[in-house]
């Protein structure tokens, strides 16, 4: 069965620090998709990135970067030069191709960025 | 605006009552998913519909039911409500069942008192 683990429950950083959010997943499928979502205090779920299991190329988008490593079943997310507006709960999620596209979420990491 | 519309945004009701949550998917999306987010259970998949038909079921209670109508909007019906049903209920949509990217609505916050 698919499973996503976010071991970090809560992280607090000071603005401008870099922060990495960890995500480890379990799946028996060879084809799967990984996601990161952001949930700000307002409550909505905002899509950040999708990565498929065949594409291990890491990605940078502005202050965000993602490190996907199949060998360790990890899909970590780094925010560079964090800002107060980055304060939110971040969820890692997984879809296996054989599960009718059911998205399985991790328990989330609450990031608090202070001045 | 994500394109997925959920109504109402907030709902307060008493135990034992029944409520209906509504979701309009993003234009062109055939799949609708319902998720429940509670403090103790996290984000849990409830049910998926694809073009009017039930496609997958998750941890959905028997007191809960859903449907997707010909115009593709979906409703989640919650009956015999209990205090523990208080949660944020999200609807999401995607183009087809294997388009690996959901767009979520802003959620309906249900409070059972």
* Alpha-carbon gap: B86 to the closest alpha carbon of chain A (Å): 15
B104 within 8 A of B91, measured Cβ to Cβ: yes
Confidence class for position A61, pLDDT limits 50, 70, 90: confident
Comparing B80 with A32, which gets the higher pLDDT? Answer: B80
In this structure, the number of other CB atoms found within 10 A of the CB of residue B44 comes to: 16
The yes-or-no verdict on residue A51 having pLDDT over 90 is no
Segment 21-40 of chain B within 8 Å of chain A by CB: 31, 33, 35
Q: Return the pLDDT at B99.
A: 52
Comparing A47 with B7, which gets the higher pLDDT? Answer: B7
The answer to whether the CB atoms of B104 and A45 lie below 8 A apart is yes
Nearest CA to A50 among A69, A37, A38? A37
In this structure, the number of other CB atoms found within 10 A of the CB of residue B55 comes to: 18
- The tens place of each residue's pLDDT in chain B, 113 residues long, gives 789 999 999 999 999 999 999 999 999 899 999 999 998 778 999 999 999 999 889 989 999 999 999 999 999 999 999 999 999 999 999 886 455 578 899 999 999 99
The yes-or-no verdict on residue A66 having pLDDT over 60 is yes
Burial class (CB in 10 A: 0-12, 13-18, 19+), B42: middle
The yes-or-no verdict on residue A97 having pLDDT over 90 is no
CB within 8 Å of B16: residues ≥ 6 apart: B80, B81
Chain B touched by A105 (CB under 8 Å):
yes
Q: Return the pLDDT at A98.
A: 66
Comparing A51 with A88, which gets the higher pLDDT? Answer: A88
The yes-or-no verdict on residue A56 having pLDDT over 90 is no
The answer to whether the CB atoms of B58 and A102 lie below 8 A apart is yes
Q: Return the pLDDT at A99.
A: 57
The answer to whether the CB atoms of B100 and A100 lie below 8 A apart is no
The answer to whether the CB atoms of A47 and B45 lie below 8 A apart is no
The answer to whether the CB atoms of A101 and B97 lie below 8 A apart is yes
The yes-or-no verdict on residue A111 having pLDDT over 70 is yes
Nearest to A47 among B35, B101, B109 (CB): B101
Q: How many CB pairs under 8 A join A and B?
A: 58
């Amino acid at each position: 069965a698919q499973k996503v683990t976010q071991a970090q429950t809560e992280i607090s950083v000071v603005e401008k620090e870099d922060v990495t959010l960890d995500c480890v997943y379990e799946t028996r499928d060879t084809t799967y998709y990984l996601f990161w979502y952001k949930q700000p205090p307002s409550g909505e779920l905002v899509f950040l990135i999708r990565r498929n299991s065949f594409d291990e190329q890491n990605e940078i988008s502005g202050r965000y970067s993602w490190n996907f490593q199949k060998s360790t079943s990890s899909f970590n997310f780094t925010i560079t030069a964090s800002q107060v507006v980055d304060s939110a709960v971040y969820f890692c999620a997984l879809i296996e191709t054989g599960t009718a596209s059911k998205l399985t979420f991790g328990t989330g990491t609450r990031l608090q960025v202070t001045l | 605006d994500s394109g997925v519309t959920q109504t109402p945004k907030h709902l307060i009701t008493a135990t034992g009552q029944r409520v209906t949550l509504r979701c309009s998917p993003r234009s062109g999306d055939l799949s609708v998913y319902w998720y429940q987010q509670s403090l103790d259970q996290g984000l849990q998949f409830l049910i998926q519909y694809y073009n009017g038909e039930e496609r997958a079921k998750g941890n959905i209670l028997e007191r809960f039911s859903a449907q997707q109508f010909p115009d593709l909007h979906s409703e989640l019906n919650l009956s015999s409500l209990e205090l523990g049903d208080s949660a944020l209920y999200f609807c999401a949509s995607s183009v087809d069942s294997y388009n690996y990217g959901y767009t979520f609505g802003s959620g309906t916050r249900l409070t059972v008192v």
